[in-house]
Amino acid sequence: MDGWRCYQSTLYYISSEEKNWSESKQDCSKRGANLTIINSNEEQDFFKTHDNVWIGLNNMEGTWKWVDGSPLTLSFWASGEPDGAKECVVTSEWKTLPCSSTFKWTCERKPSIEIKNL
């Protein structure tokens, strides 16, 4: 579980290297995870100390959607955002940036439960 942190029954990974949004999404997938979907005030608070980290929100198809296809219902945009010319989003106060920019990223997944016969 190197690099993963547990918060409210979800595991989060924050990278130490930088990649563009698509490469970040691929890395999360390789880890059995998705780019992080922030859907609560508590989860947003958890990421307040992480600036300029890719999350799983994009506007590549003309509508703000999360990587799992769900629509944006709760948002934490910085003042002046979203900027219509940019399609991908970083924390902590959400900012839109070109998806080709390189930043650290965060993945999330539910922990797997290991059951052993006793």
pLDDT of 93 strictly over 60: yes
Q: What is the pTM of this model?
A: 0.90
Domain-located, residue 26: yes
Q: Quote the number of domains for the chain.
A: 1
Domain-located, residue 74: yes
Domain-located, residue 115: no
**CATH number of the domain that residue 28 is part of:** 3.10.100.10
Percentage of the chain beyond pLDDT 90 is 76
Domain-located, residue 30: yes
**11-15: long-range contacts (C-beta < 8 A, 24 or more apart)?**
11/108, 11/109, 11/110, 11/111, 12/36, 12/46, 12/106, 12/107, 12/108, 13/106, 13/107, 13/108, 14/50, 14/53, 14/104, 14/105, 14/106, 15/53, 15/104, 15/105, 15/106
Query: Structural domain of residue 60, as residue ranges?
Result: 4-109
Domain-located, residue 118: no
Domain-located, residue 65: yes
Which pLDDT tens digit goes with each residue over 70-80?
999 999 999 99
pLDDT average, residue stretch 89-93: 95
